[in-house]
Amino acid sequence: MSPSTSRRVGRPRAQERPASGLEPREEVLAVAAELFTTQGYTATSTRAVAERAGLRQASLYHYFDGKEAILAALLEGTVRPSLEVARELVARTAAAAEARLWALCRSDVMLLCRGPHNLGALYLLPEAQTERFAVFHRIRTELKAVYGELLAGTEPGGTLGAAELGLRTDLVFGLTESVILVRRADPARAPLTLAVATADAALRIAGVPQRSLARLRREGEGLLAALG
């Protein structure tokens, strides 16, 4: 078989290497993150993404079967690492639920503030509400369920009924995601200060008394350091 017939349509050529040094798939995601958040998702074509990534459009389709698949990968990247952290924290049953909730919230805010573009802003796109984004919505729902599980394990949370616990979970999860709005208004914001303050506020909403915060913060930092 000659090299020309062994090459499938759309398969990238060896010489197509993005100038960034990223692998082509990662470069497509980086370029799409920028264009989707600055020009808008609807206004961005896969052609524009391919061109900016230094790929032929056919090569882009080797990695993603269209613009929705790129958006889905970006959205999943804003929740999947947090769900992994969340699962590890759930398993650390020796630690107080309060400290684990603090750690999850701090870690989640850092993820939402990561990278040069505010990908959380894409959550609210009408286009992202369809079945095509079911995996993203499922991961986000699972992540929120862990917030609820940890909240239920806290001392004040143990006294709440199911409806009240669900509402409290919405508030703490909403507070965490609200860094998307803070970041939109103030893109230069230092993430770490915001992450720690948000995690403190999550415990305050949970009903943890002020006098316990410093200790739980230390425990939470210790848990995150142990996760590596």
Site string for its own copies, 41-60 (x = CB under 8 A): xxx-----------------
134 makes contact with its own copies (CB under 8 A):
no
119 makes contact with its own copies (CB under 8 A):
no
Per the CB < 8 A criterion, the answer to whether 133 and 72 are in contact is yes
Going by C-alpha positions, the residue among 58, 65, 71 that lies closest to residue 31 is 71
Decide whether 23 or 186 has the Cβ nearer to its own copies.
186
Residues 184-223 that bind its own copies (CB under 8 A): 184, 186, 193-194, 197-198, 201, 204-205, 207, 209-210
What whole-number distance in Å separates Cα of residue 13 and Cα of residue 22?
A: 15
Phi then psi for 29, rounded to 5 degrees?
-65, -40
Q: Which of 3, 21, 116, 126 touches its own copies by CB under 8 A? A: 126
DSSP secondary structure letters along 104-143: HHHHHHHHHT-SSS-GGGGGG-GGGGSGGGHHHHHHHHHH
65 makes contact with its own copies (CB under 8 A):
no
Tokens of 111: 């993820």
Tokens of 157: 């949370």
CB of 38 to its own copies, least distance (A): 5
Decide whether 7 or 130 has the Cβ nearer to its own copies.
130
CB of 212 to its own copies, least distance (A): 13
User: Reduced to 3 states, what is the DSSP secondary structure of residue 194?
Assistant: helix
Going by C-alpha positions, the residue among 25, 34, 113 that lies closest to residue 69 is 25
CB of 153 to its own copies, least distance (A): 18
Q: Which of 84, 155, 171, 191 touches its own copies by CB under 8 A? A: 171
6 makes contact with its own copies (CB under 8 A):
no
Tokens of 219: 């425990």
Number of alpha carbons in the 13 Å side-chain half-sphere of residue 43: 7
Total chain residues near its own copies (CB under 8 A): 38
Binding region for its own copies (CB under 8 A):
37-43, 121, 123-127, 129, 167-168, 170-171, 174-175, 177-182, 184, 186, 193-194, 197-198, 201, 204-205, 207, 209-210
